[in-house]
Amino acid sequence: MKLLHADTAATQPQDLQTLVLANDADPRTLTLDGVVRIDLHFPSFTDGRAHSQAFLLRRRLGYQGEIRATGDVLVDQLPLLSRNGFDAAVLRADQDLAVAERQLARFKSHYQGDAVVPRPRFVQAA
């Protein structure tokens, strides 16, 4: 997962191939042809709507480009983000990259499937 720091990352979309999505939008209504980056926004880290958007983009729609988390993005949410199909996150300015890496490394596998590993553990193990 690409971790970007708020004060170094260009948080503004740079070209027409980037899509910025409000967190109440249904990604299934979009045309994704030619889109290489989609920014999903967390107005607060406790607002989980963008998690479902990412899942739908990555898993349901098979979108292959970058999915970037923006807004109130904290290190403790990174394990969720990466499993839901985000592959880039712009961390809030006060977040510590070393702590972030530690959170991402902790759990090696999970019970349920997700956007990246679609099948649950009980099917993988079988």
Applying CB under 8 A, the residues found at the interface with another protein are 24, 26, 45-49, 51-52, 55, 59-60, 74, 76, 79-80, 83-84, 96, 99, 102-103, 106-107, 109-114, 118-123, 126
CB of 62 to another protein, least distance (A): 9
Q: 1 or 13, CB closer to another protein?
A: 1
Residue 80, classified by CB atoms within 10 Å of its CB into exposed (0-12), middle (13-18) or buried (19+), is middle
Q: What is the CA radius of gyration of the chain?
A: 14
Task: Check residue 77 and report its DSSP letter.
Answer: G
Q: 17 or 118, CB closer to another protein?
A: 118
CB of 79 to another protein, least distance (A): 7
CB of 24 to another protein, least distance (A): 8
Among 29, 9, 5, residue whose Cα is nearest residue 19: 29
Spatial distance between the Cα atoms of 48 and 22, rounded to a whole number of angstroms: 12
